[in-house]
Structure 1
Amino acid sequence: MTLFWIASIVLIALSGVMIALPFIKKKENNDAALRDELNKALYKDRLSELEEETEEGLVENQQELIDDLKQSLLDDIPSEKHVSESAALNPWVVIVPSMLLTIAMSYGLYAKFGAADDVAQWQQVSSNLPALSKKLMSPEGAALSDDEMQDLTLALRTRLHVEPKDATGWLLLGRIALANRDIDTAIGAMNKAYTLKNDDPDIMLGYAQALMLSQDPVDQDTARATLGKLVQRNYMDVRVFSLLAFDAYERKDFAAAVRYWSIMQQMIGPQDERYEMLGRSIENAQKQMGIAPSDAKSVSVSINLAPQVTASPDAALIVSVHNADGSPVPVAAARYPLGTFPRTVVLDDGNSMMQGQKLSQLEGYVVRVRIDNDGNVATKEGDWYGESSAAKMGEAVEVTIDKQY
């Protein structure tokens, strides 16, 4: 607001200068002096004409005409009283009321039509952008009210107008648009964020999420490709696989949907309330495939890490299911990023390794878990591992990694 008042005062001051300028700056020419000079010139011209006419005999009494001419010259001189009254006019009598009228009309019209309250609210909202952004990004982000969402949108648009290369700002604007189901705005904002920072996983995920809601097949293909890049980079976020599962189910690729939902179950574990919901989704997809739920058996493995175990963050977690007789050849296996512990993974027939033998056909089994440090499954030196006790199909098992090759 300080800038507004300074600008308005400057503009009014300029208006005052324009009003006062004609009164303060006197004319260089003087009307009375010009009139006298003109009368003198006319008088001299007329004297010359009278002399010529007298010489030609056209004028009998030259002196009388000259006297009349002088009298006419004197009659054209204004009175001193009139001149003094004109000179006595004070220009400030006009300037001061004009300035007051200008100030009153300017601020009066702005108060009536200038939306001063809206401007003040806009500036206050812009100043609250950091707090609103922090609240949106926090786990309680859903607690933002509709008014706060509108304020945040306004503040973000203002900031992005000034800083159009703020990728995080575009990401936030896209998320708000997604929450409001404004697909066009979401795609536009996410696209700008992705253009500015196409290697940021959060931006890639947001961009894919927006494109998934588009009705354009090209946009949906781009979304799948973007999600595929995240999976290749081992970006283990439940939202990635949720989008992939939803997309696969919509395309009637039920096998892929089951695979993605199973991965989600592995990531969140049975203790999460979403686990059962995902199980129902898997059963529904399997029904669409003609597979009875009772035939779809899986192995749930809870994995813990002993205190003495150390592993590189780039290491891989290899989980294998073997026949209960201790056969070294796995019936099913899966490889995961190391992640955090404790954690739970679930293996099913999709992880089967042997042709003609499915995991669900086992009556009993043991589970072995290994931390592969060098990325080569064939080498075991220095790797940590653990093994479960024998269990029957349908029973969950626990494995503690506490031994080293």
Structure 2
Amino acid sequence: MTIFWILVAGLTGLALLFVLAPLLSSTAEADRDDDVDLDKVNLGLFKQQLAELDADLSAGKLDRNQYDSARQDLEREVLNNLDTKNPRQRSGFSLPSTGLTALALVVAVPASTLALYLALGSQDMIPPMGAAGQVAAAQDHNGAADGMPSLDVLVIQLEERLQQTPDDAEGWITLGRTYLAMQDAEKAETALARAYELMPKDLQVLLAYAEALAANNDNRLEGRPSALIAEALELDPEDVMARWLSGMAAFQRGQFTAAAVSWKRVLSKTDPDSEDAAELRRLIDNAEQRAGVPSAARLAAKDGAGEVGHAGDARASNGNEERPAESKPATQADAGAPAIEVDVSLAPALLNRTPPDTTVFVYAKAAAGPPMPLAVRRIRVADLPTTLRLDDSMAMMPTMKLSSFPQVIVGARVSTSGQAMPQPGDLEGETGPIPSSGSTQVAVSIDRVRP
């Protein structure tokens, strides 16, 4: 999983910087100039990421095998980008054909599905290898790194270009994905809605638009997002990302058999000896257990999990699945799994600083480990004080949940901008490290202003 975060952080930064500059060039000569600049940025980012890898190896966060594997992936990505002469091929949006890791990279380059990019928004909650974060920290969002405009400047330029060319579907897709990466789900939804108007039958537009809609609805895929995912599956029933999201949507609806069937299709395209395949098998087993499939039958089915036909998929996905008495809704945590009851309040001295409809993010993150939130809820200032629950069912990535880490930090942040990305003036508060095992109750007071 450490390798996954290294790749997501590194490739997200590369993709964000590579995808915007070619779109903003207006002549062939400008494109050639961009190639030179992008190659410089590419190599510079690679050196930064390699330094991070070396530091993690020295600190014992990675063993030698993990280090070698991650370095090979980074080197391959850099060489691919340097060898690509067509700047539009640098975007990083092509969909890998197999593997959960490949799927996760598609979602996270630059816009993660439903996990990293809706999250919470503290600068220290974004992987430090993320090139976008490194550039932003180094240039205060307004300067340039080695002659490369900042991400904020590129976004503004792309918005201005789209005002002049409002039918540029590729530009709207890029803008929407970039906003998702910047954790501005509302603007992402607006941009991707326009892309959908222009290209309603494009597979990647359908899936990106579904992501944005879900990101604005606490990561829930019911309703319009599910309909868009279904449209994507009609275009390509074997698309890995669409299959993965379809399984998640079914799981959230409590249609556990349908979720298992969809994930088995993903498993059939995954290296059976990989960690991704092992995690998929655990997810499938969990879904089938909730669906009431006997243990013996689940064990017998594991060897042939990838051999699922279209007919069985259609039967499982018809929305009429009967839920056995022993199964429980997807919104509840498994019995015995970690659950944290959070008493959230706003300090009296800060009550008059924000309107009652302002968004509040309540989250749990690992005390030591990857910075991605393990569980998150979104409420309003008007709801405070309140008590809410964080548990494993709120994890959007299967190996990043409360039960994956022995200690967590629980926090809450009032977003004065309404965005998940933190801004100066936001109100926030956090606990210290607490055990994640069993049931825990903590109090979080939002009592300080973000500088």
TM-score range, shorter chain: 0.3 to 0.5
- Could you say which structure has the greater relative contact order, defined with CA pairs below 8 angstroms and 6 or more residues apart? 2
Structure holding more helix per residue? 1
Normalising by structure 2, we get a TM-score of: 0.36
